[in-house]
Structure 1
């Protein structure tokens, strides 16, 4: 079979891959569409459920008002406040009203009556219709909130796990003496929400939240991570409450999978059949190519011994022709390179080294820029900041057009360097740069301040373990003075004297920019300038001043 016919068969086999890609695309589209439909439909349900909650709370308040607006409870509290006594008939009437209200709650609420005169909090439970004094310190919280609301309905919610989490109440005031005499309220337990939700939502992840985001009630604990669920949040009702439903993403994926799994199975089956056919075809096509490639690799490694009796040479198709031609070429090549091989190899090596020496530093800067883009896409802001600072430092360093720059550029370079060191030392290093904007356009020797800052960190702050670095500026007698001070370990007097004497010594060809190098460059570009001045107190810190003439 001709090679072109074999390629035609291989192309047919690879038609299975577009099929698989289309199936995956269809699966994702179905999943997106179903997700949108679920979110839309459940959002409507949650809004309706939240309106039902609002309606139920309003209904409870109407029941509360049926007792609140009667004169019996009001007269009872007023007489108790004024005379501290009450008739048995009035007491009985008040108890009956509270019991009637309790029985209308169907077991999901208790009725509370707070007597300000006695500081009693009576509770009437659905299962126990007697008046029990249940005042506890925590009740003071919701009572105060209700009293501050005056006679308006006030709702108090709590995020604790007690039985009663929601309190609805109205304060009762003496309209004549203008003072509060008690509170009438309802305490809702979880049964209120259980009855309201019914069995339809029992297996769902639903939460009812108040205006502060506290969870008032939830059908079941969420046992999934936030990134594994779709969050559907209803609108807020007039109390600021909202309902949140969490739908596991696995449900959407499973539904999409059920819609397309048969087609995927069919596509995978076609792909498997294609792979089997390709393996059979590889016996006639792939293995000879691998064998020929291995022979070429051996020749490339310097092994010119060829197997003349190789079965590939006996083939009558294009592969056999290619193998025979390659064998002929290798035999001729071996005869030609006996005397020239080493020379050509050495020449090639020299060229590679020359190319390596010509690599432009901008390649490294561009690489940092690419790394910054990748980190920015990944959301790694701290890494982005470090790469950005390092890129700025590198770009500033490799620029060779000018030896003099504006002070603002040198300060920016120093700031980038300090920001990188800040990531390294964290809270052990702090810095402050306070330079008047009027000095920022002053010409400055490039890379004259950063070496001094580096010395302050490496030889001062790091040896002490922590410290602060401050950069300030002032102008005196026609010269500008940049002061770099640190609170590091300081310099011994004899070492300080040696540094002062060494400022005017030639830096030679060191591979770093030291104090003497900065001193000589400053005095070279700015004649009659002071250069560097050193001051240090051992154990307390060091101040290095760079002074040059600007007038």
Structure 2
């Protein structure tokens, strides 16, 4: 199967027509799916970040309220009125610290009281449910972020827990913590009497952030300067500023939420703003995770495409073979015909267009065979007629000269009528024996018929009347030679009987509206019965022009009519007709119709 074969081209076209739309659809679907997944993921994660922001704010508000609870403690209120001096107040301070540390979110609590007597402890640290008292000289300075005269707390972002300058007798493992610092004032005088610092582990924040995440996703909590408060990525050091490009882009943005994209992932952020913190909640979604569903869908589509390709290839091959096999069979028959075997039996049994083409080709070959046979038989008939004419032409010049001598002798004996009849007979013989013409104009046929009928009128004298109604528009139209005389002879052979009544013969022609010529010969002879007329018409209709032209011996009594009909059909390719009908009150009418073709021209 070469590249130029119809089967190869059909397979390629079918594969392209089938696979190209599918692949295009997959590409468009994949792009659309990715875009849809991306938009949906951004919307869903934006909603999640918004909810997480609310959860973080609520959690931090709880921690702020916990640090503010000292102002709600009755013992602390009483100490503010009575003062913090004396050993009795120290027990109240420890109880207050333990009350704050009861909350499970608290890692350690540090309280510094400035209003103490010399030699009394000023700093107290509760770690692992143990209160540590340092020497009276140890006092942690107030956190510089606390505004003087303000009750607002300050949040110190993630750092490693420490002992606030106290020398611990026992070792406690440090942890990453958030610290809330608050100044303590005597109410309502706003006298600064100390400070409170509460350390909180990151466990709860970690839980809140991990609620945002799926596989391979990351979460970050940053302060307003880009320092890391918390990250879900293991091994990242908290409290350091991240140097990733998206951090600076986010810090410079004025929107409270948004998205940032790079080559490998999408970063979605939500800004958290309260009086005590200005943080950024960030979620990183890798494209690998984001498009996992789309990628799996694409893989399934490619699997389906592979199966479909296999099926399409099989169907395409089957269709192409089924489509081209009849064509190859037809080409095989054509090759056989080229060798000269024109009667090959073409058997293509499909009912589609190829089958129709094969059947039409078979009909065409049958027609060609018929035409070849017809031309062969017609040529054989012409050769036979020419041979018979040659046999009949026994020195025609001798006959013409002899008739001319007889005519001259008749004139010498004062017999001009005899001379005229002999000249008419010579003219008839010259016309009938001239084999150089096969088609003649109607004018010559009429002249020949007049010569023949003139001799017949001389024979029957007053017993025969002849009439001519020839349309001048038809006299130049050609027809086979010796067409009219056999029709006239038919009357004298079978219909003329002068004993019954004088004979009448009418010859007429006219040009019909469709351009054909109608030639009629009618008489008042004995005519024919209905049965005889029907039988003769049937015999004329069933005759084979080529076979009868080659072998006229089997025609019997109707040889003249059949000869005329067959020669008309052979010369005019079955467009000429001959039919017989009764003539009222008696007689027979013979009508010929044939195309009006002038001599040497085409049909009018």
TM-score, scaled to structure 2:
0.39
Larger radius of gyration: 2
TM-score, scaled to structure 1:
0.42
